[in-house]
Amino acid sequence: MQCTSTESCRLQTSSRSATYRGSLTLVTSISFPRRLCRPFISSKATLKSSPAEQTGAGPKRRRIASARAAVDAPMVAAVERAAALQSVPNSEAVLQSPLDKRLYRRTALSNGLGVLLISDPEMGTALEQSADVAGEDSGAQGEDSDSEDDSGSDSDGSDEDDDDGDAPANGVKGPKQAAAKKAAAAMAVGVGSFCDPAELQGLSHYLEHMLFMGSEKFPDENDYDAFLASNGGASNAYTDLEVTNYQFDCEPKALGPALDRFAQFFLAPLVKADALEREVSAVNNEFAGVLQSDSCRMAQLRCHTAIEGHPFRGFSWGNRASLWDQPRAAGIPIRDRIVQYYRQQYSAERMSLVVLGGQPLDVLQGWVQDHFSAVPAGRGPRPVFSDAGPPFQGGRVYGMPAVKDSHSITVTFQLPSLQAAYAAKADEYLAHLVGHEGAGSLLSALKARGWATGLSAGVSDGGHERTSAAWLFDVHISLTDAGRAEAPGAGLACVALLFRFLALLRDAGPQEWVFKELRDIAEVKFRFAEEEDACEYVTRLAAELHMFAPAHALKGQWVYGQWDPALVTELLTQMTPQRARIDVQSKDYDAVSKQIKEMGEAEEGTEPWFDMPYTAAPLPAELLEEWAGATPEADMKLPARNEFLPSDFELVSGTADGATAPMNGSGSPSGTGRKPAVNAVALANGSHVQDTPSAFPEPPALVIDEGGLRLWAKTDAAFAVPRTVACMLLASPAGHDTPRAAALTHLIAKLLEDALCETAYQAEVAGLNFEVSPEGTAGLALRLDGFSHRLPALASAVFRALAELKVQEAAFVRVREALARRYRNSNMRPEGAATYARLFALRAAMFHVDAVLPHVESVTAADVQEHLGVLLGTTHLEALLHGNVTAAGAAAVARGARDALGGTRLPAAERPCDRAVLIPVGSTLYREGPKNPEEDGNVCELYLQCGSDSAATRALVDLLEQVAGEPAYDTLRTKQQLGYSVHAGTRLTHGALAFCVVVASSTHGPAELEARIEAFLSSFAATLEAMAPNAFEKHRGSLLAAKLQKDHALAEEADRHWDAIFNRRYNFSARAEEVAELRTLPHSTLLQWYRQTVAPGGAERRKLCIHIAGRSKLEQITQQPAGDVHVVEGLAAWKSQADCKLFDPPTGSLPPLCPAS
């Protein structure tokens, strides 16, 4: 696949709502949990700096041998020539998608700060309606709130994305929950870890944390977060190598005062002495959380082994040793150095600000001028490191151990920055071909030899891979055991094939038709781009604002300019063995290390921050010569032209007002015969929160309901995009009745993926996506989404491939090895292990991965083939098609799928159904140690079951999350510094609602974490009781505002509808019903319910606590707990005991049939 985003390790500061945006993914450019950036500096940064202070990076960063730059001279000249060839508009007018109705203005303040303003008319209309109802102006709300908000995000339950059946209570599974339409802003400061001084490594990240700790104007260190939380918002930040990015979102009417607080980060932050050690502990906790991350370990080894003096050679995370213990021992005044660094590096002309709101552009510009014009300037443009040259010595191989059971090899080609020639897209052209998965591709050749299971290629979006010093084109290959061992060993046989494929590209020469295909699909994707999450949107735009011409501020990633074959040719000349760095990461490190040593001149070392051994050696001259003279293999060829490229973008519905278009040709809407969704406006009772027109769209229609097939369909008329989402579920009693059946079904899913790899890749390039996954007792889930023109063709290919699947021995061995490895690697992270244990306890029919793994390892290809026949012979197909599709078109796809499978015969009533376990009243405890014996992280997940899913209970739990989430984070994470991750929020598992608090820590054991959580929950009863009426109403208003906002993308609405179908509740108006409950829910009812159900000692309290103890706290899993606690030794035996009670199965009623014409 083509590498578009990295799995890096960006230093991401995590605020309490971090997880609800899914922002904590580790990739290849240092990523930290969200909140870790707090405020710091004590006076306005207006002091003049000396010339020495204006240099950006310290002396050690600048002393790079000039001879290295000369090596790249031809390549640099090619980039400059390519940049000159591209036609870049001179206009300041921002090019935007025809579907994008927002207004944009690119400007700059007098101090040099670059600004992009975005006015959303739809948001503006909602603001006007709100003002009409409430008589309030946009800046009135939230000034005195002392509660904060947290989202109830949900963990995936394991490190390998195994299904968890657990969803947030708004009715959307996992990360696909509907997003409220919010105002947002982001500031990208053009300074990052490249500028860290050698004696304070990680200082940029530390500074990012400290900026959250209060300012002269708002000295309370929690003021910023508390204000955002009380206005339905959250904050975030991250530190990269050359940029530090701060962002927030909030309700639109709170944007003005939010910007005032935000501006203080860059005007007069307080670097409070009493917060220094607390925040360095936060930085250290974040680092401790990635110590066992393979991607982060490799990223740091690459930094550690970079050329001496190169800015890449550093420790970007920072920890207590680099930022506290060592500097103090050396007599360095830490606070003074932080303030000095801030004043030297944070300067207006190095900053880019993006603001998105509902106010007119002139109003937004006035706010920005008022709040940000005083940001100090004069430090010069952002530091640039182009003179540093490539960071690595080429022609070398590095071996390192993997934490997980895995083998991988990464070949890195070092290129000069191609940013100036961004419109040429030469790197993306090569990434597409090298990362291709179709017939004749490199991956196809690797799979045919049994050497690899996956491949990605390209310059990822991570901060390590795209710097002004160099762009790193990585080819990452996931190896099989055979691929790792094949001579000459250490995965290098795969590298030989890579150079043979590069020889093919050189021999064939640049292909303009490939470039045109990529250009055409990029144009289509931009033309029909849907709205992103507001905070993610401004964050991305702020980081990119300096990268593209003003006209391309939005379109830069999708701009394909003039075809430049010369630049492609020059890039290929740079991709040589002598310039490549090779990293091998393997669980079988001893064997890899031995093979590297046999090459001669090897050296062994230890990366000091992760305490990780490695072996390095120059590649033998004869091997380099062999690779340099490689010729293409017979089974390698360029890809065929893409048959999935869409060309028909006509909309089947002409309506665009949010109403559902007719589905059956009779003029009746898709929800015909059903009670309409609850009208939240009618239920408002004077509330200041107004519905948007599409807050509660019409549900899909039940189009087919016959033996073995049930189809739901909805023609989109709200988003006006030529896209369709198809969600399908194949349910069979044979799919998951035993652990062996579960293993066989999962193998079928992976073999189907493998068989469709070449087809699915072409479809993905063309904007069509396909996924298949086992969903436990629910069945085999398939999802297709993308441009509607060619979606039926992809659906036909998928179901034909499933029906005709022939399990070939070679493919089976490769796929089974990868799946077994996935099972062995599941639950390696303590947080994932805790969530998985909870889900395993709650799901009555769930088999543990440890029970399924032996069957994955032992079954044969013949077993899988036999199981496939049984599975398809007793199956029921339920499907939803939503988007640019008619009822008749949806019916054709569904019946085509059924026919391809030879007919689906299982009645809907006979489908298996999982149910949730009813936790007994009292306290139940389950404890276990880490799966990885080197893991030192601890987790306590305290789960409080609140009852069956209903609008009334959902309103209570969601409102509790709103009022308690931020105080929980502030108490447990910020003040008590218990750990690197704290989350509190709603859980919905197979119809069981709950409130859950999770704390992960490298310093405190799970028993102590539980005690601290319980102390917070106990004290919060008094906080809730004392909450002022206006504070309660603000929280209620923030929650209502989120519930009442429309989905901003077709897929979000489709996912909500599918969740109601998948879980067999068929309650498409759940959100509207909850809104009705929220409008009238009194404070006293919430308080009474909290005392009975959530607070310690409550008469109806049903508590399940999961403890995961790290290696230094293992004694806590055997200690006798205090109080009346039922300790569970084995979850499988506990939930299967005779007196175990289950929640009732879902009992949703079906609407009347609305057949397609």
Q: Measured between alpha carbons, how far is 59 from 829 in angstroms, rounded to an integer?
A: 39
Tell me which DSSP letter residue 1114 carries: G
- Concerning whether 536 is annotated as a catalytic residue, the answer is no
Q: Classify residue 535 as exposed, middle or buried by CB count within 10 Å of its CB (0-12, 13-18, 19+).
A: buried
Q: Measured between alpha carbons, how far is 381 from 349 in angstroms, rounded to an integer?
A: 6
Helices within 756-808 (DSSP H only): 757-765, 791-803
171 Ramachandran zone, left/alpha/beta (phi>0; psi -120 to 50): left
- CB of 1009 closer than 8 Å to CB of 999: yes
Could you identify the residue written with the tokens 């430049």?
Answer: 564
- CB of 186 closer than 8 Å to CB of 347: no
- CB of 1007 closer than 8 Å to CB of 1119: yes
Q: How would you label 859-896 residue by residue, b for 16+ Cβ within 10 Å and e otherwise?
A: bebebbbebbeebbebbbbbbbbbbbbbbbbbbbbbee
Tell me which DSSP letter residue 666 carries: S
586 Ramachandran zone, left/alpha/beta (phi>0; psi -120 to 50): beta
- CB of 714 closer than 8 Å to CB of 1057: yes
Q: Measured between alpha carbons, how far is 248 from 236 in angstroms, rounded to an integer?
A: 6
**Which SS3 state, helix, strand or coil, does residue 190 take?**
coil
Amino acid at 521: I
Amino acid at 224: Y
Q: Measured between alpha carbons, how far is 206 from 278 in angstroms, rounded to an integer?
A: 11
Q: Classify residue 753 as exposed, middle or buried by CB count within 10 Å of its CB (0-12, 13-18, 19+).
A: middle
User: What is the token pair recorded at 1040?
Assistant: 């209502």
Indicate which residue of 148, 160, 208, 935 is catalytic.
208
Amino acid at 1024: L
Name every residue whose Cβ is closer than 8 Å to that of residue 506 and which is 6 or more positions away in sequence: 569, 572
User: What is the token pair recorded at 934?
Assistant: 């080197």
As a whole number of angstroms, the longest Cα–Cα distance in the chain is: 82
Q: How would you label 898-928 residue by residue, b for 16+ Cβ within 10 Å and e otherwise?
A: bebbeebbbebeebbebbbbbbeeebbbbbb
End-to-end CA distance of the chain: 41
Q: Measured between alpha carbons, how far is 825 from 819 in angstroms, rounded to an integer?
A: 10
Q: Measured between alpha carbons, how far is 915 from 906 in angstroms, rounded to an integer?
A: 20
Q: Measured between alpha carbons, how far is 432 from 437 in angstroms, rounded to an integer?
A: 9
**Which SS3 state, helix, strand or coil, does residue 769 take?**
strand
Name every residue whose Cβ is closer than 8 Å to that of residue 675 and which is 6 or more positions away in sequence: 1069
Q: Evaluate the omega torsion of the peptide bond into residue 488 and state whether it is cis, within 30 degrees of 0.
A: yes
Name every residue whose Cβ is closer than 8 Å to that of residue 369 and which is 6 or more positions away in sequence: 109
Beta bridge partners of 879: 711, 728
Q: Measured between alpha carbons, how far is 674 from 655 in angstroms, rounded to an integer?
A: 21
Name every residue whose Cβ is closer than 8 Å to that of residue 840 and which is 6 or more positions away in sequence: 846, 848, 1131, 1132
Indicate which residue of 148, 279, 286, 966 is catalytic.
279
Name every residue whose Cβ is closer than 8 Å to that of residue 594 and which is 6 or more positions away in sequence: none
Phi and psi for 700 in degrees, rounded to 5?
-70, 160
Could you identify the residue written with the tokens 């690119």?
Answer: 106
Query: Which residues participate in catalysis according to the annotation?
Result: 208, 279
